Structure 1
């Protein structure tokens, strides 16, 4: 499951990242995108769900704090999900945690349509979607201490070493997320790429406001019961691939 987000973490000097020239005298703000807007065909069902359910469940991006109570029509703990892919896990978790609000960020249009379709089919009312870059959502719409949890499941591992800097889980992002978590709130990451799991442990472990919930010497957590095994994950397990969960809490 890719995690869509852009991150101004490390200047990217690779040729493929070279921006168009800015107007004379105007500095061009270089940023690294840790996601790629994948080409994908939106199905008829996804398009219909977007048209019919989008006005209710897709929130407009705005560079001002989001009123979560107004957005969800109730006051409840809120979990931010960064990158939900096609929404399979998001819909499942929202169903098993009906007393929690889920604010889900994804830029892939077919994925947004797919989650909206699931919302309609399964009568899910506790999800709201922001089809926007999650870093800008975090920076401009979520005040500090405003959310109870963060889910980052199977973000793009960017396997090649020269692309590792594009990975989502980096110190700057984790610091932003830690600041927005309430005391006792949690940050849950999952990956099927072991080198990325190691990086997740290192980055989260270095953030002073976070504490690892795992008592295992490895530092990895057991899969929490709310996170489902997706078809993709089940296939990987059958092939002998590992899956690593990393769960930290805001101290």
Structure 2
């Protein structure tokens, strides 16, 4: 009798384990936001605590563009433009917020600028395009984007690529759905960065041209250096310096007391 219950007990334990794992799998974000610390995107309004907190602010434009790079990465790997469900989207925004916080961007910017529901696959999102197959079915495999955005995206090459993106989403997508200009533009940008351009998503040209992340290398590197070394100064150099100063002061006082006794 006891032995006959062992398989049932085993199945019960496995079932509980499986149920506990499923939510973790659902909540896991498929995007690695490490690129936030690796690309050049410096925007002083995102670091200025006195900046006006608004969904239409310059910082929100930067935050949305930065997150869009992650969506392009997701498209490159999965052939899906957006995220599968709201829980995954919320998880991704949290991971994204952590990366920004590591550079000392105030956490309120993510909740102000990004709505998790907006980044979930939805049949009403720009003509119902959810995957690359949907894109090819509606737009086609040969577009101006494929011609002008495949290689380097600097100077006139960038201008030509942006024109190709604008013409493609207006002539192929907006004719079907006039009300979703922003979402159709996003899909065209994701397609360009995640499927067409050959130089990779962390390419300076892709970030600056397609997503308008125009921060200077000097400013971003200066800020990254400051953030990385501020804690070293606060918790290592400053305490060591104070100990040295106090040590020297006590040594001097001790020397003065001994000198007075000798005299």
Specify the TM-score bucket, using the shorter chain as the normaliser.
under 0.3
TM-score by length of 1: 0.26
TM-score by length of 2: 0.25
- Structure richer in strand, relative to its length: 1
- Structure richer in helix, relative to its length: 2
